Amino acid sequence: MGRPKNVYFTVTASIIGLMVAIQFQTVSEPEVRDTRDTWELRNDLMGEKELQSELLHEIRTIEDKLTKYENEREQSKEQLLKETLEELKGEAGLTEVTGPGIILTLQPIVNELGQEVPMSRVSPSLLQRLINELNMYGAIHLSVDEQRVINTTVIRDIGTVTKIDGHSLNRLPIQIKVITKNAEEADKLYKRMEISTVVEDFFIDNLRVVLEKPEEDIMIPGYQDTIRIRYMEPVETGVGGDG
# residues near other proteins by CB under 8 A: 24
H/E element holding 217? strand 215-220
Asked if residue 30 binds other proteins (CB under 8 A), the reply is no
From CA 106, how far away is CA 207, in angstroms rounded? 6
Q: What angle do CA 142, 144, 147 make, to 5 degrees?
A: 90
Judged by CB under 8 A, which stretch of 4-12, 50-58, 157-165, 211-219 contacts other proteins? 4-12
| Least spacing, CB of residue 34 vs other proteins, in Å | 24
| Least spacing, CB of residue 25 vs other proteins, in Å | 6
CA torsion sign, 230 to 236 to 240 to 242? positive
| Least spacing, CB of residue 33 vs other proteins, in Å | 22
Asked if residue 27 binds other proteins (CB under 8 A), the reply is yes
Which lies closer to other proteins via its Cβ, residue 14 or residue 135?
14
Region of 208 (left: φ > 0; alpha: ψ -120 to 50; beta: rest) is beta
From CA 211, how far away is CA 10, in angstroms rounded? 109
Asked if residue 31 binds other proteins (CB under 8 A), the reply is no
Across the strands, what pairs with 177?
A: 103, 143
Amino acid at 169: L
For residue 108, which of 93, 121, 94, 89 has the smallest C-alpha distance?
A: 121
Judged by CB under 8 A, which stretch of 23-31, 130-138, 200-208, 225-233 contacts other proteins? 23-31
| Least spacing, CB of residue 37 vs other proteins, in Å | 31
Which lies closer to other proteins via its Cβ, residue 16 or residue 210?
16
| Least spacing, CB of residue 30 vs other proteins, in Å | 12
Instruction: Give residues in contact with other proteins (CB under 8 A).
Output: 1, 4-6, 8-27
